[in-house]
Structure 1
Amino acid sequence: MHKLRKRSLLLLAIAAALPVAAMAAPECKHSEPRQLAFNTAGVKAVTFDVRQNTLKLVGVAGSAGSLKGRACASAPELLKQLEISQERSGDTLIVHLRNTQDIKFSLFGTGSRYAYLDLAGSVPAGIPVRVDVGSGDLDATGLAALDARVGSGDVAARRIAGAVSATVGSGDVALSDVGSLNLPSLGSGDLKAQNIRGGAVIGSIGSGDVDLRGIGGAVKVGSIGSGDLDIDGARGGVSIGSVGSGDATVRNTIGNVSVASLSSGDIDVAGVKGNLSVGSRGSGNIDHSGVTGSVTVPRR
């Protein structure tokens, strides 16, 4: 199956990349302290412009928030280009983590140049947060809600009281204990989520992978390209619009499972307390077991 082949290739890639990963640890040859305090009285949302930087956020009681950490650079003259600033736009507070000269982080070569901010701080737990993550990293805990736009960076979030929305390019997102999930699109990146108290809505999966475990509501998916979707433990059924050359695996689900169309990919369904239906089928494979309701699968 496609999934086994992909996992084998992934293991080989990881083994080959180990020396590079060792080199990829963030450097901080020169540093300066950075900090910013902000008052969110009257603010209904906070936006963090993370870019290539690193940010760790924790939700706290009250209306005040702050950031503290360091500016890191390969040369001392680059430190002054790293700034933290804030501005108000209506009832939204916008916090910028900015490199005024847009120095690119480089790991290779003897003359590598880098400049980035490494910050940690707090934000009121009752205010929704939006983050724009380019190639940087975000770690978030205990927020009211989270809207993340992720390029090639990484996002990890846990104990989010409300909804999490994420648009992902080639980056990685890891979620745990969130109110609900909305994933408009995922390119070549990966998203893993567990303990989703509500439902999950996914627009499109390109060549990346989505792994969902422990979903309290229904899962609705628009399309899967060459990527993989793995669902374990949905309590409201699963509906998928189309599966291209990728794989869709659904296990231990309460409710009906439906796929409108399958092209050359694979569908694997097991342990479903409900019906299974597939509208149209190309050259792909369909495996099913432990379906308590009716099974409607077209022949090739």
Structure 2
Amino acid sequence: MRLAILAIAVLASPGLQAWNCEHERRIETSLDLAGSESLMVRAAAGDLEIIGSSEGTVAEIEGRVCASKEEWAEQAAVDTRDGKKAEIVVELPDTEGNWSLLGGSYAYMDLRLTVPDNLPLEVRDSSGDIEIEGVGEVSVKDSSGDIEIEDSRGPVFVEDSSGDIEFTDIGGDVTVESDSSGDIDGRDIQGSVLVRHDSSGDIDFRDVSRDFTVERDSSGEISANRIGGDFVVERDGSGDINALNVKGEVSIPDDSS
């Protein structure tokens, strides 16, 4: 009997209920960014998709709210603030303390944005996957979930706690400030790549036009292929280091495999 109760508790946990959508609500709005110099997006639980557009100055906002209670779905909102430093902010009700053995309590919002591609973009996210395409300068700080950034002019800055990170067709420098867990993968980078601190997971970059540097890696394999500048690994804990077709110098710790 005790094992059965534990099994029910696991199945009803909020993390495993994230795909549920007992009460759904759609939100559609827009934000005029004429005169804005940057855009901050503060998302919450849920997936986030951002697509850059060269047409117009208006950000189109589409949200899909899912919640275990109808009132929570109604309370969810997207706040917008114009001005030089414009903001799009997701507001979700507090579900803490409402979980029960009979079912998980949850509220999340999947957000899709179409934004002008000429504005520097800053993203703050708590959980859920992030997909960004066709923008310029972008900075992302994320707690959990995969991150994909493609077809963007850059530069690109990412700070992540958990989840895979993928860069494709970036027109400027790429910096990964920190990544606690998950693989980091990149290809077609028209600039330099700097990974400051990676705790676990593989690192793999291909077709980088300038230098590729890893300052500190705790565990996982590091691979570099078709690097236009130097390939440097300053500190490495464990895992193989592979380098192919590097035009500049290759510098790795002496005790690396």
Aligned counterpart, 2:125? 133
Are the aligned partners of 1:150 and 1:169 in contact in 2 as well (CA < 8 Å)? yes
Q: Tell me, yes or no, if structure 1 residue 67 matches structure 2 residue 64.
A: no
Residue 36 of structure 1: CA displacement?
A: 2.2
Aligned counterpart, 2:179? 186
What SS does the aligned partner of 2:196 have?
A: strand
Are the aligned partners of 1:175 and 1:193 in contact in 2 as well (CA < 8 Å)? yes
Q: What do the CA deviations read for 1:207-238 (whole angstroms, capped 9, x no partner)?
A: 22222121111112211112332222111120
Aligned counterpart, 1:11? none
Change (3 A) 1:172 1:105: farther
1:84 to 78, 82, 90: 78
Q: Give matches, 1:191-206, under 5 Å.
A: 191-206=184-199
Long gaps (5+) in structure 1: 1-22, 262-277, 286-300
Aligned counterpart, 2:19? 26
Are the aligned partners of 2:156 and 2:174 in contact in 1 as well (CA < 8 Å)? yes
Q: Tell me, yes or no, if structure 1 residue 123 matches structure 2 residue 112.
A: no
Q: Give matches, 1:231-270, under 5 Å.
A: 231-259=224-252, 261=253
Change (3 A) 1:110 1:195: farther
Instruction: Give the % identical residues.
Output: 26
Residue 48 of structure 1: CA displacement?
A: 0.8
Change (3 A) 1:104 1:141: farther
Q: What do the CA deviations read for 1:241-281 (whole angstroms, capped 9, x no partner)?
A: 1112233222222111012x3xxxxxxxxxxxxxxxx4xx3
CA RMSD, aligned part only?
2.2
Residue 184 of structure 1: CA displacement?
A: 1.4
What SS does the aligned partner of 1:244 have?
A: strand
Count of paired positions = 240
Are the aligned partners of 1:150 and 1:171 in contact in 2 as well (CA < 8 Å)? no
Question: In structure 1, how many angstroms separate the alpha carbons of the residues matched to 2:40 and 2:148?
Answer: 17
Change (3 A) 1:82 1:139: same
Question: In structure 2, how many angstroms separate the alpha carbons of the residues matched to 1:25 and 1:211?
Answer: 30
1:93 to 56, 75, 86: 86
Question: In structure 2, how many angstroms separate the alpha carbons of the residues matched to 1:239 and 1:104?
Answer: 48
Question: In structure 2, how many angstroms separate the alpha carbons of the residues matched to 1:68 and 1:103?
Answer: 26
Aligned counterpart, 1:227? 220
Change (3 A) 1:194 1:231: same
Q: Return the TM-score normalized by structure 2.
A: 0.85
Are the aligned partners of 1:175 and 1:194 in contact in 2 as well (CA < 8 Å)? yes
Are the aligned partners of 1:56 and 1:121 in contact in 2 as well (CA < 8 Å)? yes
Change (3 A) 1:104 1:31: farther
What SS does the aligned partner of 1:132 have?
A: strand
Q: Give matches, 1:167-182, under 5 Å.
A: 167-179=159-171, 180-182=173-175
Aligned counterpart, 2:4? none
What SS does the aligned partner of 2:162 have?
A: coil
Bigger CA radius of gyration: 1
Residue 86 of structure 1: CA displacement?
A: 1.7
Change (3 A) 1:76 1:24: closer
Q: What do the CA deviations read for 1:124-182 (whole angstroms, capped 9, x no partner)?
A: 01111111121122211110121111211222121001211111111222221112211
Bigger relative CO (Cα 8 Å, ≥ 6 apart): 2
Residue 105 of structure 1: CA displacement?
A: 11
Residue 38 of structure 1: CA displacement?
A: 0.4
Change (3 A) 1:118 1:216: same
